[in-house]
A and B are shown apart, each in its own frame.
Chain A
Amino acid sequence: MIIQTIAFYAFAAVTLISAFMVIAARNPVHSVLYLILAFFNSAALFLLMGAEFIAMILVIVYVGAVAVLFLFVVMMLDINLAELRQGFLKYLPIGAAVGLVLFAELMLALGAWVVAPGAKGAIAANQAALAKTSNTAAIGKVLYTDYFFLFQASGIVLLVAMIGAIVLTLRQRAGVRRQKIGDQIARTREEAVTVVKVPVGGGI
């Protein structure tokens, strides 16, 4: 038990420090790397709670894919953070006010509003089954039976976002010659090669 406690405080401390360094680091690439470290330690915290599926998904999706693209973009951009920091003090009151409002709203939501009132009953009903199966199977069961339509709806939202991103970046350029692999494979000997008998001294 003591090892779990030590591990929790270690991971939590590293998460908080690296989360702070994300906004404090001078170099944007270092910021992204600290963000990755924060993701990692959050995954470790999930593991300590026994939510191994969510921990792995966090690493696969955020560390393995999203953060790679972040890093990719940030490395290519030439951002000068010192310049961005110029107006820091000027905007500090507004930023603090927005943060405060958001924090107050979150607190209100947490205190007054019950998220998905049916969920409590469903979770309680599944407690017996949870003891027998792994939590991956349990998540699957709840997600695909009780919340199937919400799951599908979120899938459609993602699909729309994806199509939107493709439409925004798609452009047709004239005069670009593309390789058509199908055409290349469909070529036959007859249309590709002609054998010519060249008379000596005559040329073609």
Chain B
Amino acid sequence: MTLMQFFTQHWLGQGLVIVAQCLAVTLPLLVAVAYMTYADRKIWGMIQLRRGPNVVGPFGLLQPLADGAKLFLKETIIPSGASKVLFILAPMITFITALIAWAVVPFDDGWVIADINVGILYLFAISSLGVYGVIIAGWASNSKYAFLGALRSAAQMVSYEVSIGFVLITVLLCAGSLNLSTIVKMQDGGVWNWYFLPLFPMFIIFFISCLAETNRTPFDLPMSEAELVAGFHTEYSAMAFGLFFLGEYANMILLSGMGAVLFLGGWHPPLPFEPFTWVPGVVWFALKIALLLFVFSWTKGTVPRYRYDQLMRLGWKVFLPFSLVWVVITAAFVTYARGH
């Protein structure tokens, strides 16, 4: 048995390959999460005419590591009234759901752990699970602030999931497939073939719903510090809080990745000819994610927080009917105008 056969045929070899693939996705992702917190704080600093983190290391580049070390070394406090098992389980759920969704994201042509037929549904299913970490945290903390934060978050995430679902339907109508690699391949050949142009209103709705799904400003009511101390993670400290924090940022990166795959042509270069095609696809994919993440931070530095009834109105009375109509329009276009 050659080494090649061992890795492709023997069950132990296949298992090792899968573990290696998971590490190859997870480790860069965790580094990206750490530096996303740094980029976030730098961008807010620039918006507010401050310097941002600049003390630890050159340009403050070691700040995320210092923060991580601090969270690791602190004491994990479990409130005596808390439901202990669920209290510890909640941050794990948030963190794990943020990581396992990456299994189906295609980084480049063929660079995907599991190229499944229902990739888009898998992503949608996993991103809708994130709400459990928040609800369980709020309930298990046995604290009124945490509980209020959890209730707000549950209602908000369920509401905006509906419009995300319709947005996904428009994309898969255009692509004619639920497979993420196929969706990216359908957007081959330059920026004018990417789906954000024909589906521009849907792209905007998707992005705003992503802000609501990840509890970011202007929809950060679940953790609005002026009313609820810190919302659902009020009672968490040390690495349990750290896991919430990591999960939240990993979710932001995941939804940006989803936006890049569905609307911005995934790994394809913006222009389909030479200097652009020299750059590997995974770099283009990372750049697109970075672009969307920048808009996340930019929004946080710019807009004030919504009131709760305004948030619900936007989700149910504006986005839902609009995206529903757009699904009908897209379906009609695909059926009649494109001649399938």
The answer to whether A and B assemble together is yes
Known: A60-B125, A68-B131, A68-B135. A52 touches B117 (CB 8 A): yes
The answer to whether B38 has its CB under 8 Å from any CB of chain A is no
Known: A36-B132, A75-B135. A134 touches B158 (CB 8 A): no
Provide the residues of chain B in CB contact with A75, threshold 8 Å: 135, 139, 147, 151
10 nearest A-B residue pairs (beta carbon): A64-B128, A56-B121, A59-B125, A134-B117, A60-B125, A56-B118, A52-B118, A75-B139, A56-B125, A68-B158
The answer to whether B161 has its CB under 8 Å from any CB of chain A is yes
Count residues on chain A whose CB falls below 8 Å from chain B CBs.
Answer: 24
Q: From B127, which residue of chain A is reached at the shortest CB distance?
A: A64
Q: How far is the CB of A62 from chain B (nearest CB, A)?
A: 10
Q: How far is the CB of B200 from chain A (nearest CB, A)?
A: 22
Provide the residues of chain A in CB contact with B313, threshold 8 Å: 181
The answer to whether A72 has its CB under 8 Å from any CB of chain B is yes
The answer to whether B230 has its CB under 8 Å from any CB of chain A is no
The answer to whether A179 has its CB under 8 Å from any CB of chain B is yes
Q: Mark A173-189, 1 if CB is under 8 A from B, else 0.
A: 00000010100000000
CB contact list, A66-90 vs B, under 8 A: 68-69, 71-72, 75-76
Known: A29-B139, A69-B158, A75-B135. A60 touches B117 (CB 8 A): no
For the complex, would chain A's binding face be called helix, strand, loop or mixed by DSSP majority? helix
The answer to whether B136 has its CB under 8 Å from any CB of chain A is yes
Residue among B11, B122, B139, B309 making CB contact with A56, cutoff 8 Å: B122
Provide the residues of chain A in CB contact with B136, threshold 8 Å: 33
Provide the residues of chain A in CB contact with B128, threshold 8 Å: 59-60, 63-65
Provide the residues of chain A in CB contact with B125, threshold 8 Å: 56, 59-60, 63-64
Provide the residues of chain A in CB contact with B122, threshold 8 Å: 56
Task: Give Cα A126 to B315, complex, Å.
Answer: 41
The answer to whether B129 has its CB under 8 Å from any CB of chain A is yes
Question: Contact between A52 and B161 (Cβ–Cβ < 8 Å)?
Answer: no
The answer to whether B207 has its CB under 8 Å from any CB of chain A is no
The answer to whether B116 has its CB under 8 Å from any CB of chain A is yes
Q: Mark B301-319, 1 if CB is under 8 A from A, else 0.
A: 0000000011001000000
The answer to whether A57 has its CB under 8 Å from any CB of chain B is yes
Q: Mark A33-47, 1 if CB is under 8 A from B, else 0.
A: 100100000000000
Provide the residues of chain A in CB contact with B139, threshold 8 Å: 29, 75
Task: Give Cα A57 to B122, complex, Å.
Answer: 9
Residue among A57, A65, A72 making CB contact with B121, cutoff 8 Å: A57
The answer to whether B178 has its CB under 8 Å from any CB of chain A is yes
Known: A63-B128, A75-B139. A3 touches B11 (CB 8 A): yes
Q: Mark B78-92, 1 if CB is under 8 A from A, else 0.
A: 000000001000000
Provide the residues of chain B in CB contact with A181, threshold 8 Å: 310, 313
Q: Mark B271-311, 1 if CB is under 8 A from A, else 0.
A: 00000000000000000000000000000000000000110
The answer to whether B124 has its CB under 8 Å from any CB of chain A is yes
CB contact list, B140-173 vs A, under 8 A: 147, 151, 154-155, 158, 161, 165
Provide the residues of chain A in CB contact with B11, threshold 8 Å: 3
Q: Mark B218-252, 1 if CB is under 8 A from A, else 0.
A: 00000000000000000000000000000000000
Q: From B317, which residue of chain A is reached at the shortest CB distance?
A: A181
Most chain A beta carbons < 10 A, residue from B116, B118, B122, B155: B118
Q: Mark B1-33, 1 if CB is under 8 A from A, else 0.
A: 000000000010000000000000000000000
Provide the residues of chain B in CB contact with A36, threshold 8 Å: 132
Residue among B121, B129, B154 making CB contact with A63, cutoff 8 Å: B129
Residue among A33, A63, A76, A136 making CB contact with B117, cutoff 8 Å: A136
Provide the residues of chain A in CB contact with B118, threshold 8 Å: 52-53, 56, 134, 136
Task: Give Cα A63 to B121, complex, Å.
Answer: 13
CB contact list, A1-40 vs B, under 8 A: 3, 29, 33, 36
Q: Mark B31-68, 1 if CB is under 8 A from A, else 0.
A: 00000000000000000000000000000000000000
Q: How far is the CB of B251 from chain A (nearest CB, A)?
A: 15
Question: Contact between A65 and B161 (Cβ–Cβ < 8 Å)?
Answer: yes
